[in-house]
Amino acid sequence: MSAMHERPPEKPPMSAQELGEECFQKAVQFHEQGDLVSATAYFKRAADKQSPLGMLFYGLSLRHGWGCQANETMAFVFLQKAGEIVVPHVKDMDPTVAGMAKEELAMAIYELGQSYRHGWGVSRNKKTAAYYFEVAADLGDADAQSDLAACYEKGDGVKRNMKRAAHYYRLAHKQGVELFGTSWIFKKKYNSD
């Protein structure tokens, strides 16, 4: 063949992970345009390609009925899968990817806590909700830190502990969470021992 008739080299086929990421990005575009039906369809495609974010957002779509009929039981299944798929890989990833995976994992775990708190797709259990909030809070999720602090402040699912409440409120505050009526958390007597 002459140089003019040579075919360009073929691109290698996309991996399932790349296809999942591509589907997830399309879902986000549809979501931003307000097309929740298409967004949810692409979140499902991403989830089917083992995308943790696809699973997370498909689970949230199912929970809240965004572009689909609400199904809290299936939502819980997808939220659980999102956390499970990321956990084994976090330690072995390069630090920049591991940071993103850690955020995805924290968000999925936080949402599992919300499921237990509200009884969405699973029996309501304040103790289990607080457990998931603590795991997500320790992974750096600001919403989980704030919710866990409220659990410790009120004794919801955990033994009431104002020092631990103050600790987690302060962590959330450092990340920019607006806290009203919590100026007490900065008093010396609420510092950790």
Better-scored residue on pLDDT, 60 or 86 = 60
pLDDT value at residue 141: 94
Distance between CA atoms of residues 137 and 84, nearest Å: 17
CATH 1.25.40.10 domain position(s) in the chain = 17-124
Cα(111)–Cα(81) distance, integer angstroms: 12
For residue 8, the model assigns a pLDDT of 58
Is the separation of the CB atoms in 121 and 74 below 8 Å?
yes
**Angle at the Cα of 52 from the Cα atoms of 86 and 31, rounded to 5 degrees:** 155
What's the rounded Cα separation, in Å, for the pair 125 and 164?
A: 20
> pLDDT tens digits for 110-134?
999 999 999 999 999 999 999 999 9
- DSSP code of 71? -
Question: Which residue in the block uniquely carries the two structure tokens 């967004």?
Answer: 39
What is residue 85's predicted lDDT score, i.e. its pLDDT?
78
Round to whole Å and give the CA distance between 180 and 76: 31
Q: Report DSSP state, residue 90.
A: T
Q: Identify the three-state secondary structure at position 20.
A: helix
pTM of the model: 0.81
Which run of H or E residues covers position 93? none
CB atoms within 10 A of CB 79: 30
Written as one letter, the residue type at 26 is K
Q: What architecture does CATH give domain 17-124?
A: Alpha Horseshoe (1.25)
Read off the pLDDT band of 105 (50, 70, 90).
Answer: confident
Tokens describing residue 68: 């689909």
**pLDDT of the residue at 104:** 78
Higher local confidence (pLDDT), 2 or 17? 17
Q: Per-residue pLDDT tens for 13-57? A: 556 667 888 999 999 999 999 999 999 999 999 999 999 899 999
Res 84: pLDDT: 83
Question: DSSP per residue over 117-163, as a string?
Answer: HHTSSS---HHHHHHHHHHHHHTT-HHHHHHHHHHHHHTSSS---HH
List, for residues 64-74, the tens digit of each pLDDT value.
Answer: 999 999 999 99
91 CB neighbour count, 10 Å cutoff: 8
Per-residue model confidence (pLDDT) at position 180: 85
pLDDT tens for 142-185 read 999 999 999 999 999 999 999 999 999 999 999 999 888 889 99
